[in-house]
Structure 1
Amino acid sequence: AKASVHRRSSYIQYNPEHYHCQLYCARINNYAAVVDFTGGTKVMSAALALVARRWKCTFAYVGGRERNKNGVGVVVSGREQQFSHFNPWDVLGYQAVEDAVAVFNHGGYAAAAALLDGAVKNAGQPALKRELATLKAVVDAYAAWDCFDHDKAKRHFDDALKNRNDLAAIFPHETRSLVARLERHRDRAMQLASANEPTAAWVEDLVRNARRRAAEGRFDDAVARLYRAFEALAQVRLREKHGVSDTKAVLLSQLPDTLRTEWANRGRDNRCFMLGLQDAWRVLKGCNDALGRKFFELGLADEPGSPLVARNQSILAHGFQPVGEPVYSRLHEKLLCLVSLEATDPHDWRLPVP
């Protein structure tokens, strides 16, 4: 078996700084591979097909209309005929869909996007290219959402929904429910993108993101998100119930009486206070807020036994020790005592099996 490579262009612009990178790119862009398994044994042809399955190439086989030795010998010269000529990615593209969905459903959003990106580039059929690109838009939407880029996520959802017929080709039995879910998630991403201050939806998004990090075993990242959720929850409560719109600039007159004297010398020159997480919850407690009292009852105040203190000693905060699953679980459990949120995610991101 043999593989012949037909060169379209041999020009490489030399740049000492990026020579190897340019050489690699030139090999991809300036060469087209034709995999010709004419004359190969069955084992040789199978091996060549396995090697070439990752290439953007065409398969070709040259047979003939007439052979010597009563039709069982070699092709008579001048009677050759090409019997097949196709791009294997027009078939393997659908395998890429299955692989990408499997990776995506295990939280590998960037990896799934990379798989689909390669499949889009290698596919030859326009319809298949479009279907793969539409699925990649779905994956890119969730990848952006997972990075808190809600505006970008909304744009990718729009791109995917404009080509919903392509989703029907990939998920013929789940099209209606999938499109409805994508529309709901597009609207949710749009709501989150429009918020310029902490909201209840924003707190919920942080918690769900933390759960995804915990599912990956990235407990330091998960706890960092829960910490921000505790802080954001206090900010939402102060704004909605007590008229404190900005915890970065709180006036002395906005503080409860129990804290005005204690903090009188803490304010800046214009008597403004910047409230961190613990201070924000102290203000809520001082305002006799039920949520603020519960925060202290749960043992979350700045004391040695608080899981929030354990977070402060993590390698992503002020210490050098990684956070483990026990700290995450304690924080997650206590946060659910403060905010109305289901323990499991009702809005599943997982894609149906194609």
Structure 2
Amino acid sequence: MKRKELILFMIVGTGTNSNPQELGFKLLAKKLYSTITKIYPNYVVFFASSKSKQTINYIEEQFEDEGDEFVEGQDYQIVPIEAIDDFSACFEIFESKIWEFDFQNDKDCKIIMDYTSGTKTMSAAMACCGLFYSKDLISVGGDRSTGEVSAGTEVINYQNLYKIYDKFALLRTRYNFNAKRYRTCIDVLDYIVDLNIHKDSFSNLCKSYYAWDNMDFEEAYDYLKNVDIKQREFMDIKDDLKKNLKALGTIVNSRSVNLKNCYILASLINNSIGKAEEYRYDDAIARLYRALELAAQIRLTSYNIKSSDVDVSILSDNNVSDEFIEELKMTEEDGKIRIGLAKDYLLLNELNDDLGKYYVENEKKIKNMTIKRNNSILAHGLESRSKEDFDEFLEVVIDMARKLDKGMNKFLNETKFAKFDLKLELNNL
């Protein structure tokens, strides 16, 4: 396999503090020469101020003394850098050269960045730039008994940055998780190599929430059961995860149909709120419409009535008016009476139920909202809904849900998706 063309970036200082300027240039040149000959790059990029360019002349002399050549334009180039104490200016200059060799060059290059020399600001800027663009970083160490690395003792230290990259990956995962980009989280986690990070549990968490966001409760529960919430990565959300696990467990395992359905309703409402937080108001309102419909269906179940197959004998036993029953019979098709949202609530009103009364009292308002939903691009029309449309609809749905079951506030709390505290210090993770 053909070796990549190796490019060495070096920042050039102005000599050593303990020596006269000319001698300082020569000593620094000797150290830089030592690094170059150890790395053996195809090309060197020096970042130097006008004052420090003299050092590079002495590097050329070092090559000549060894019977070799080091020619500007052929073997190296000098990139002027005068704002040696301006972090942003230094960073941008280093960055521009990375772009030049990585993206504007036809050759396949590998860049190594030596941040040893130069001012502290230059070194910091190069180290950060290398970290940002995932370049190999090196520093030169050796015998420092005199306070500086003694010539002839130089050792090149390659900096192992995988733990830092893993920290950044973990932080990115937390941000993406809060933004409900669960698939992106899973992709980012695949790059983490630090065994101290419990990425399997994190991956299960993301898969659980992805499934839950798509209303696949069984799969969400199975994945969430395999999250070790005692681990430090989850310390700021562990209480919420316990609530979520309880809610999903109830949906999947509870023998109480009403309790199960109430948790599903709460989950659907929270799901709609999540879509609204992503500014997907048409999507959010579509879920609210289903939640409003589900609330009526849950209440009708308590009367042993199914919206998808209404038994008129049950209606008669519950003193529903003959006129209303006849009206329902007119919709019979294939031997079944199927009713939608409005008729669900009107039937509840006939049953003298609180939900039905609430609907009738607010019928005009609710009909206006459902018309907007029907005209939405995600229903039957081409219009887009607004935050105001969503907020108005949400208020009605939550009112209806609370009338459905007095425990609805608890159900809503336990089905609310956990979110990480992004203010936590990264080193605490």
Q: After TM superposition, is the score higher than 0.5?
A: yes
Matched, 1:97 2:175: no
Matched, 1:88 2:161: yes
Q: Which moved more, 1:49-58 or 1:208-217?
A: 49-58
> Distance in 2 between the 1:55 and 1:147 partners?
36
How far does residue 144 in structure 1 lie from its aligned partner after superposition?
3.0
> Distance in 2 between the 1:40 and 1:155 partners?
54
Residue 316 of structure 1: aligned partner: 378
**Against the structure 1 CA distance between its residues 155 and 287, is the aligned structure 2 distance closer, same or farther, given a 3 Å change threshold?**
same
**Against the structure 1 CA distance between its residues 65 and 32, is the aligned structure 2 distance closer, same or farther, given a 3 Å change threshold?**
farther
For the 8 Å contact 2:169–2:192, the answer to whether it is kept is: no
Matched, 1:126 2:126: no
How far does residue 34 in structure 1 lie from its aligned partner after superposition?
7.8
Residue 204 of structure 2: aligned partner: 137
Q: Cα deviations across residues 209-241 of structure 1 (Å, max 9, x unaligned)?
A: 122222332221121111001110111011113
1:262 maps to which of 307, 327, 343? 327
RMSD: 3.9
Once superposed, which parts of structure 1, at least 4 consecutive aligned residues long, lie more than 6 Å away?
Answer: 31-34, 70-74, 195-198
Residue 253 of structure 1: aligned partner: 313
Q: How does 1:45-56 map to 2 (within 5 A)?
A: 46=124, 48-54=126-132
**Against the structure 1 CA distance between its residues 132 and 54, is the aligned structure 2 distance closer, same or farther, given a 3 Å change threshold?**
farther
**Against the structure 1 CA distance between its residues 2 and 74, is the aligned structure 2 distance closer, same or farther, given a 3 Å change threshold?**
farther
**Against the structure 1 CA distance between its residues 335 and 73, is the aligned structure 2 distance closer, same or farther, given a 3 Å change threshold?**
closer
Is the partner of 1:2 in helix, strand or coil?
strand
- Give the unaligned 5+ runs of structure 1: 7-30
Residue 278 of structure 2: aligned partner: 216
> Distance in 2 between the 1:73 and 1:185 partners?
57
Residue 244 of structure 1: aligned partner: 305
Q: How does 1:264-343 map to 2 (within 5 A)?
A: 264-270=329-335, 272-299=336-363, 303=367, 306-340=368-402, 341-342=408-409
Counterpart residue type for residue 146 of structure 1: D
How far does residue 205 in structure 1 lie from its aligned partner after superposition?
1.1
For the 8 Å contact 2:204–2:223, the answer to whether it is kept is: yes
Counterpart residue type for residue 187 of structure 1: K
Is the partner of 1:322 in helix, strand or coil?
coil
Max Rg structure = 2
Task: Say how many residue pairs are matched.
Answer: 306
**Against the structure 1 CA distance between its residues 343 and 181, is the aligned structure 2 distance closer, same or farther, given a 3 Å change threshold?**
closer
Identity, % of aligned positions: 21
**Against the structure 1 CA distance between its residues 193 and 86, is the aligned structure 2 distance closer, same or farther, given a 3 Å change threshold?**
farther
Counterpart residue type for residue 184 of structure 1: K
Is the partner of 2:155 in helix, strand or coil?
strand
For the 8 Å contact 1:96–1:115, the answer to whether it is kept is: no
**Against the structure 1 CA distance between its residues 58 and 115, is the aligned structure 2 distance closer, same or farther, given a 3 Å change threshold?**
farther
Residue 187 of structure 1: aligned partner: 246
Counterpart residue type for residue 205 of structure 1: S
- Give the unaligned 5+ runs of structure 2: 1-6, 10-38, 42-107, 403-407, 425-429
2:114 maps to which of 21, 24, 37? 37
How far does residue 109 in structure 1 lie from its aligned partner after superposition?
2.2
For the 8 Å contact 2:377–2:384, the answer to whether it is kept is: yes
Residue 12 of structure 1: aligned partner: none
Residue 213 of structure 2: aligned partner: 146
How far does residue 156 in structure 1 lie from its aligned partner after superposition?
2.9
